[in-house]
Structure 1
Amino acid sequence: MAWIEELFREGEKRVGELEVYWFSGTSVSADLKQRRVALCSSSVETGMCIRTIDKGRIGSSSTNDPRQWQACLDAAVAGGRLATPQEWKGLPEPAALPETDFAWDPTLAIEPATAQEMLDGMLDGASGYPDAAVTSGGAGVAAGEVTIANSHGVRYTSRQSDLSISLETISGQSTGYEFDHAWEKGLVDPRRVGKRAACLASRSQGGKDIPSGEYDIILSPMAFADLLSGIFVPALSGRNVLQGRSKLAGKIGEAVAAPGISFYDDPHRPGAAGSTWFDAEGTPTRRLDFVKDGILSGFAYDLKTAYRAGLQSTASAIRGGFAGLPAIGHHNFVVDGKREALFDEPAIYVHGVVGAHTANPLSGDFSVEMSNPFRVRDGELAEPVRGAMLTGNFFELLGNIEALGTKDRAVGSYILPPVKIKKTRVIGK
């Protein structure tokens, strides 16, 4: 990648600061239609994004052909000339960071046989429930490398591998869905995913109506993560705080969740897929506490938003791909607190929710359909529940958290246990 150094020599003649984000990766994916592979594809992707900063004017351009870096640089410089100047205090300086990769499996084979093996495992797991038919599913395996470089001398590189699987089943009018993902092959369990998806469809048949009212509920990690990502996490964005679009603005030091509940970003968590020594702008990462023992502690910022607020970046910049500009996000969003058994008392267990994206992130109001809900009785799942909705205000709901389960699960970039919430409004029949 000697061309990067040539790029900097040229770019530094024209602008005050320069940043290059480079990605290269390979992937293989296979999709199921019922129990047969309907499509298998592989891809090799490379690309970069150049960002220029000159007197507070920021320009950017991207390309998937590094041989075109000169044209890409020209476009970024030209775009910067048209940009509105803003408060800017500079790109990060280099730091002495470990060179180890958090989430990298060098033995992982990026080939169709790996995906096929995971598909076979899910189908085998689902076969224990012959009344549940497989409708669709998929498996993917990928590996990639990211390089962040800037005109101050930052040169960071990290490698990451990824495996993902999912399966959807149906039994009568009931469906079941399950998934798993990890960076190392031994951390995913295809057979369990298949068994769980088929079990949910099979056991959800013959659901019983329940009357509307307030119930203690247990949200699975998947259900709670859906609500968190659609409502609460956007309120932690410094950008939304600055623009008056966060219900949490001005509430640092106030209680925003039940006592003992903590939310934090842990970018150095061992074994977690989102762990990294640096963010998407080259800022060294650290643990960031959002809520500590129920009390709001802080918000997330990237460089641009932090400078506007007169603060420092919290190393919360992420990118959706090589062509995307940095945006505020998190690396490993952890839900933590006192753990205990959740199924000892009657409640309603909710495996998933449908419609979390329709919630109002400004007010926190939501109304979602419960997917695969069951009554909890005598320490286990009892009869299924049919046709019920979960509704309320998510910010108020956080104050009603009664307990966290004992076992964490990774759901995308979230690491969290099941959560028991008291007196939650359920709309039934």
Structure 2
Amino acid sequence: MTDSLASLTDQLLHAARKAGADAADAIAVAGTSLNIDVRSGVLEQAERSEGTDIGLRVLIGQRQACVSASDTRAQTIAEMAARAVAMAREAPQDPSVGLADPGQIARNWDLAALELADPADEPAPAALQDDARRAEAAALSCKDVTQVQAASAGYSRNHVHLAASNGFSGGYSRTSRDISCVAISGKAGGMERDYAAESRVFQADLPDAAIVGQLAAERAVARAGARRPRTGHYPVLFDERIASSLIGHLLSAINGVAIARGASWLRNAMGEPVLPDGLSLIEDPHRPRATGSRPFDAEGLPTMRRAIINNGVLTGWTLDLATARRLGLSSTANAARGTSSPPTPSAGNVTLTPGQYSRNDLVTQMGTGLLVTSLIGSTINSNTGDYSRGTSGFWVENGQIRHPVNECTLAGNLRDMLRGLIPANDARPHLSRRVPSLLIEGLTLAGE
């Protein structure tokens, strides 16, 4: 498959040169996905999709344009190139656009070491249906679960190839296998819902479907009888399931696009402490069997391990070539792109330094406060870092979980929140973002 995609990118580059482009890059993506949904033990829906998409970016001087298609015929490719060149000639000049210099591009990489794609055969639909059925059955076996809203199993395999007129050409494949279940406890007027989901690159690493269903049931039952907490100022423990959202806000704030626009609450924080002393945030694009791993970025630059935050101090932004040029810096090889748009910076695998305590230790340590297991909506001021989100979870009193809570809102400032957080040691090792539960001392809680 990668050979045929390489041929498509070559055709796109040839057509771009013939149409009058000064430079160009091309991407071709082919994918297969299969998803099975089960309800009441029988097949409810089966979906399978296959397709190939192609994208072309052309540059004329300091002007660029992007076009894409799902038709790979030679005539379509020629028309794409002509259209892209015509668009580029009308585009505004941008001194930041341009391909990587030939000396910058990746030359050698070890795909086998990254283990991005499972060599096992695609699972049969019957095997996926059995996984979904067993997850549902496990959830329904819990006496306090009244129904299962959804039980699903899926598989996908994608191939991507990127080539550019600067001499870069490379591609790789990626697989994913997943199971999910959503369980509901209680009856009308007092129903609560929760979920469990697992996804792995290699099918052999996936937990048993019954475990997923059982966990969804336990979480839904634990939420029964939820009520609003007292309004006040309390310590808040973000459960591992949602703690990575806080690091996600940080990553958005140091994204080169936000920094170049001056629209970030961390725009002046380079070289300053943003996490507690001793904590680091490490990006590693070469972790085996991780969904954020890749040998090169979307501009053909070799990816590398880097400390985004070292011992609490912010060391740099997340940059592609264009944002790096705007800021007078060098790319961090974080370009990502689809077939219809130019590259933009995006962080991949990140790991936050774990703490020495378990989540239960932090529950005990917090005394009286809130354990958050679900976040609803989002109001984040990108310029100030002011934070406000609807939430639900469990009320903690005297270091013990007392009862579930819902219909409440958390508020604070991300700069203060991140600077004072305390990490647990429960990050799941297979995730692209390995972030443990996080305790934050003192957020405003609006309840009753």
Normalising by structure 1, we get a TM-score of 0.91
Say whether the 8 Å CA contact 1:260–1:337 is kept in structure 2: no
Q: How far does residue 391 in structure 1 lie from its aligned partner after superposition?
A: 1.8
Structure-2 residue corresponding to 1:250: 268
Query: Are residues 1:150 and 2:168 paired?
Result: no
Query: Are residues 1:331 and 2:336 paired?
Result: no
Structure-2 residue corresponding to 1:71: 79
Partner SS, residue 355 of structure 1: strand
Distance in 1, Cα, partners of 2:343 & 2:134? 38
Distance 1:374 1:134, change over 3 A: farther
Structure-1 residue corresponding to 2:16: 11
Larger mean Cα displacement after TM superposition, 217-226 or 43-52: 217-226
Q: How far does residue 209 in structure 1 lie from its aligned partner after superposition?
A: 4.5
* Equivalent AA in structure 2 for residue 420 of structure 1: L
Say whether the 8 Å CA contact 1:262–1:291 is kept in structure 2: yes
Q: How far does residue 332 in structure 1 lie from its aligned partner after superposition?
A: 1.1
Partner SS, residue 385 of structure 1: strand
**5+ unaligned residues in a row in structure 2: which ranges?**
none
Q: How far does residue 52 in structure 1 lie from its aligned partner after superposition?
A: 1.1
Structure-2 residue corresponding to 1:350: 372
Superposition pairs of residues 377-396 of structure 1, within 5 angstroms: 381-396=401-416
Structure-2 residue corresponding to 1:372: 393
Query: Are residues 1:28 and 2:34 paired?
Result: yes
**Cα deviation digits, residues 199-244 of structure 1 (max 9, x gap):** 1111111235432223332212232223443x32221111111111
Measured on the aligned residues, the alpha-carbon RMSD in Å equals 2.3
Q: How far does residue 36 in structure 1 lie from its aligned partner after superposition?
A: 4.3
Q: How far does residue 385 in structure 1 lie from its aligned partner after superposition?
A: 2.8
Say whether the 8 Å CA contact 1:338–1:403 is kept in structure 2: yes
* Equivalent AA in structure 1 for residue 374 of structure 2: G
The match for 1:310 among 310, 313, 328 is 328
Distance 1:403 1:4, change over 3 A: closer
Query: Are residues 1:363 and 2:368 paired?
Result: no
**5+ unaligned residues in a row in structure 1: which ranges?**
none
Distance 1:111 1:56, change over 3 A: farther
Distance in 1, Cα, partners of 2:130 & 2:429? 23
Say whether the 8 Å CA contact 1:219–1:419 is kept in structure 2: yes
Partner SS, residue 12 of structure 1: helix
Distance 1:156 1:212, change over 3 A: same
Structure-2 residue corresponding to 1:196: 215
Query: Are residues 1:43 and 2:49 paired?
Result: yes
Superposition pairs of residues 277-296 of structure 1, within 5 angstroms: 277-296=295-314
* Equivalent AA in structure 1 for residue 267 of structure 2: A
Partner SS, residue 407 of structure 2: coil
Query: Are residues 1:96 and 2:75 paired?
Result: no
Normalising by structure 2, we get a TM-score of 0.87
Distance in 2, Cα, partners of 1:386 & 1:5? 55
Distance in 1, Cα, partners of 2:66 & 2:300? 16
Aligned residues: 424
**Cα deviation digits, residues 281-307 of structure 1 (max 9, x gap):** 211111232222211111111122222
Q: How far does residue 151 in structure 1 lie from its aligned partner after superposition?
A: 1.2
Q: How far does residue 376 in structure 1 lie from its aligned partner after superposition?
A: 7.1
Q: How far does residue 252 in structure 1 lie from its aligned partner after superposition?
A: 0.8
Query: Are residues 1:181 and 2:202 paired?
Result: no
Partner SS, residue 360 of structure 2: coil
